[in-house]
Amino acid sequence: MKYQFPDNFWWGSASSAPQTEGETLSFGKSATIWDQWFKEQPTRFHNGVGPADTSTFYKNWKQDIALLKELNHNTFRTSISWARLIPEGRGAVNQEAVTFYNQVIDELVAQGIKPFINLFHFDMPMVMQQQGGWENRDVVTAYAEFANVCFELFGDRVKHWFTFNEPVVPVEGGYLYDFHYPNVVDFKRAATVAYHTMIAHSLAVKAYHERNDGGEIGIILNLTPSYPRSQNPADVKAANIADLMFNRSFLDPALRGEYPQELVALLKEHGQLPACQDGDKELLAAGVVDLLGINYYQPRRIKCRDSQVNPDSPFMPEWFFESYEMPGRKMNPYRGWEIYEQGIYDILTNLRENYGNPNCYISENGMGVENEQRFDENGQIQDDYRIDFVRDHLKWLHKGISEGSNCLGYHMWTFIDNWSWCNAYKNRYGFVSLNLETQQRTIKKSGEWYKATAAENGFN
Ligand code: BG6
């Protein structure tokens, strides 16, 4: 069977400034929370490798864009580093950063690759974190100023903007489960961070729409379908609560301009609602996106709790559900994540049936592999597992489109193996392998496969 995709389908890959640029404390850039955390606790990072050790896109951008072109990308996502563009968080703009981002955007456009630009990929400037980060409404305003500077400087050429990548991750990582700075564990503070993130998002969307720049603005969400262990009402309820907390707390404001009433009621009942200001309701309503980016890696398997929660324990999402290891599930043996290709189709179906079938695209999907630097006699990594992974997800994506979903493209995570937060280079994801010492890039077998798929706009 031939899997042919619609004309003008976006074939590309995604990356981010903090994971690729390098030059973390030079050329005018100030520290982010990652630079600070690495300074404080290098042992939290896999093999002690920190944010400065990257593919150095700051210097190698031209070579990398040539590679994107070679791999037949027609679109590419990266982000603009707030700490690089506005080192004090607000105020003066760093002209070296303006030059750098202008060169990158111009080169992408010149090569026929549409730049998709995201404004926040987990990389809070440290000066802003010192003022309370997303817990502080002033930081929200500063972010909106940063967004406006970006629209003003680059909006003539960038027509696809995103306010945030996976906004739930800094909430979970930084305020619930201790895998991001500032390593707080406190649900109420997490709820405030989540809420303020969506206020910041709405301010940026509203400002962008008011400019009438002829482009689109969206948000990138890691929509993790929550499947109940059984159709038993207790399991179904548990899965619904996980869905409310981790998906709908961002998806509903982004697509409907308001929070789900069930979520508001639940948080109110437990005294966990964040503080609101006059005008927030209208602001959230103005934050409805033009385009939704969907990151999909794995599903969430949920069951009801086996034991009663101790009411004296701190309030956590896990008061309402437990994770469940479904027998027989297919696993990525190299990363420990479940592989469930149909999840991508289920997300599209949910969007079509319950959210008015918005314009969307797959903004990340990919396979992390440990110890992947195994080259064959021709010097190539034979990553057939990654080809299978991408192709099998694309098949389900194709089915969603053929049933009417407005899914406009697919971006693999990621282009070149990149630095991945605390995991550093533990799991490699690229179509192109990176030798960190020599900075040499080598296209993997999957890169060649993707190149052909993009050229043919599909595969057999
Ligand atoms: C995505 C993030 O959730 O997962 C990326 O947007 C990240 O920034 C990717 O690198 C892979 O994560 P990990 O933990 O497997 O290296």
CATH number at residue 125: 3.20.20.80
User: Is residue 427 in contact with ligand 1, taking CB distance under 6 Å?
Assistant: yes
Rounded to the nearest angstrom, the distance between the alpha carbon of 275 and the centre of ligand 1 is: 31
Report CA(419)–ligand 1 centroid distance (Å). 9
Q: What is the 3-state secondary structure (H, E, C) of the chain?
A: CCEECCCCCEEEEECCHHHHCCCCCCCCCCCEHHHHHHHHCHHHCHHHCCCCCCCCHHHHHHHHHHHHHHCCCCEEEEECCHHHHCCCCCCCCCHHHHHHHHHHHHHHHHCCCEEEEECCCCCCEHHHHCCCHHHCHHHHHHHHHHHHHHHHHHCCCCCEEEEEECCHHHHHHHHCCCCCCCCCCCHHHHHHHHHHHHHHHHHHHHHHHHHCCCCEEEEEEECCCEEECCCCHHHHHHHHHHHHHHHHHHHHHHHHCCCCHHHHHHHHHCCCCCCCCCCHHHHHHCCCCCEEEEECCCCEEEECCCCCCCCCCCCCHHHCCEECCCCCCCECCCCCCECCCHHHHHHHHHHHHHCCCCCEEEEECCCCEECCCCECCCCCECCHHHHHHHHHHHHHHHHHHHCCCCEEEEEEECCECCCCHHHCCCEECCCEEECCCCCCEEECHHHHHHHHHHHHCEEC
- Read off the pTM: 0.98
Q: Whose CA is nearest to atom 9 of ligand 1?
A: 420
Q: Give per-residue pLDDT as tens, 204-226.
A: 999 999 999 999 999 999 999 99
Q: Could you tell me the distance, in angstroms and rounded to a whole number, from the CA of residue 417 to the centre of ligand 1?
A: 11
pLDDT of residue 1: 74
Q: What is the mean pLDDT of the chain?
A: 98
418 to each of 42, 50, 153, how far by Cα in Å?
Answer: 18, 11, 27
Residues above pLDDT 90, as percent of the chain: 99
Residue 335: is its pLDDT beyond 90? no
With a 6 Å cutoff on the Cβ, whether 453 touches ligand 1 is no
Range 108-131 average pLDDT: 99
- Assess contact for 405 and 348: CB atoms under 8 A: yes
User: Cβ(165) to ligand 1 under 6 A?
Assistant: yes
Residue of 116, 122, 429 to mutate, ligand 1, most atoms within 8 A of C-beta: 429
- Ligand 1 within 6 A of 172 CB? no
Domain membership of residue 440 as a residue range: 3-459
> Of 364, 403, 448, 456, which residue is the catalytic one?
364
How much is the pLDDT for 227? 98
Is residue 364 part of the annotated active site? The answer reads: yes
Q: What is the pLDDT of residues 153-171, one digit of tens each?
A: 999 999 999 999 999 999 9
> Ligand 1 pocket check: which of 363, 413, 418 to mutate, most ligand atoms within 8 Å of Cβ?
413
Task: Write the residue with the smallest CA distance to atom 7 of ligand 1.
Answer: 420
Query: What's the average model confidence in pLDDT over 166-190?
Result: 98
Calculate mean pLDDT across residues 37-53: 98
Mode of pairing for the β-strands spanning 3-4 and 458-459? antiparallel
Out of 421, 425, 434, mutate this one to test ligand 1's pocket (max ligand atoms within 8 Å of CB): namely: 421
**329/298 Cα distance (integer angstroms):** 11
Predicted confidence band of residue 380 (pLDDT cuts 50, 70, 90): very high
- Give, using CA atoms, the residue closest to atom 11 of ligand 1: 420
pLDDT of the residue at 250: 99
pLDDT in tens, 388-397: 999 999 999 9
Identify the CA nearest to 180 among candidates 337, 365, 18, 317: 18
pLDDT tens per residue across span 428-445? 999 999 999 999 999 999
Total of domains in the chain: 1
Residue whose CA lies nearest to ligand 1 atom number 10: 420
Instruction: Determine if ligand 1 sits within 6 Å of the CB of residue 118.
Output: no
pLDDT at 105: 99
> Ligand 1 center to residue 377 CA distance, Å?
30
Per-residue confidence band for 4, with pLDDT thresholds at 50, 70 and 90: very high
Q: How far is the CA of 420 from the centre of ligand 1 (A)?
A: 6
